[in-house]
Amino acid sequence: MTTTTVLKLGGSVLTDKSAPETVDGDALDGAVGAVAEALDADDAPRLVLVHGGGSFGHHHAAKHGVSDADGTRDAEAAFAVHDAMRRLNDAVVTRLHGAGVDALPVHPLSAATRDSAARLSLPLDPAATMLEEGFVPVVQADMVAHAGAGATVLSGDELVTTLARGLDADRVGLCSTVPGVLDDDGAVIPEITAFEDVRDVLGGSDATDVTGGMAAKVRALLELGAPARVFGPDALAAFLAGEDAGTVIRG
Ligand SMILES: Nc1ncnc2c1ncn2[C@@H]1O[C@H](COP(=O)(O)OP(=O)(O)OP(=O)(O)O)[C@@H](O)[C@H]1O
Ligand SMILES: C=C(C)CCOP(=O)(O)O
């Protein structure tokens, strides 16, 4: 039976977060290589890729003072974030093509919305139909029109949980720069089942990040209702091959 995997490639992995709009070419090649190899396997999953903002989205969002909670009615500001994310998305999709992966872009701004209670509505048909037709959807973190708030940031983490639920994913992974969620001593916590257990060790991000870093990630994954894994680039191939990797989060 073919399984469905939703995988986020963290913006902190794909980019150099210390320099605006800078792709980390080696890291992107490494991730793309692992994806291409996994899709060549006999038991390859159907794969939905999501990517975060790194030094593309977060840089522009911070500059314009927007986040997933604080919106803007300045169309040029919203477009600056979206367009930077599109440039990163183009870079990811193009490298995937270079590795023989049939990737197609998905830009949520054109179709997703948030209501006044910040509930996300994301049409799933595009990604579902792409999967049916053998493509790999590559969904960018983006801006989204938000009732009563103008436009807010839509994080890759929220896209992962929404797509995983909506597409009934069998496996969910978040590849970040860290090898997992780390405890006070820097060791990988094997399993998280409650936010209270890890609240004290969870922080934001070391770099510019408008969506809450690791604490927000763990919170979102605990609400998913299915196991999800947070791991580093070294474990990406193992995760895609169906093995355990990093920290498993079970809500
Ligand atoms: N307990 C913790 N364990 C691991 N990382 C932590 C912890 N607390 C805070 N962090 C920070 O969380 C970061 C990962 O979150 P971040 O949102 O930056 O990653 P990402 O999803 O890969 O990138 P992006 O948000 O750009 O897509 C780590 O680089 C680290 O700085
Ligand atoms: C700032 C933007 C548009 C991206 C936020 O998504 P994340 O990097 O997954 O937190």
* Calpha distance 95→208 (Å, rounded): 25
- Pocket flag, ligand 1, residue 53 (CB < 6 Å): yes
Q: Give me the number of domains the chain comprises.
A: 1
Q: How many CB atoms lie within 10 A of CB 245?
A: 23
49: containing domain: 4-249
Q: What is the pLDDT along the chain (251 residues), one digit of tens a residue?
A: 789 999 999 999 999 988 999 999 999 999 999 999 999 999 899 999 999 999 999 999 999 999 999 999 999 999 999 999 999 999 999 999 999 999 999 999 999 999 999 999 999 999 999 999 999 999 999 999 999 999 999 999 999 999 999 999 999 999 999 999 999 999 999 999 999 999 999 977 777 777 778 998 999 999 998 999 999 999 999 999 999 999 999 98
* Calpha distance 153→145 (Å, rounded): 9
Q: Which two tokens stand for residue 238?
A: 């193992």
Q: Which two tokens stand for residue 119?
A: 């509930």
Q: Which two tokens stand for residue 143?
A: 């801006």
Please give the distance, rounded to the nearest whole angstrom, from the Cα atom of residue 184 to the centre of ligand 1. 15
CA-to-CA separations, 84 to 19, 143, 169, in angstroms, rounded: 13, 11, 28
Atom nearest to 211 CA in ligand 2: 10
* Calpha distance 160→115 (Å, rounded): 19
Please give the distance, rounded to the nearest whole angstrom, from the Cα atom of residue 64 to the centre of ligand 2. 14
CATH code, domain with 90 = 3.40.1160.10
Atom nearest to 58 CA in ligand 2: 1
ipTM score assigned to the predicted complex: 0.96
- Pocket flag, ligand 1, residue 177 (CB < 6 Å): yes
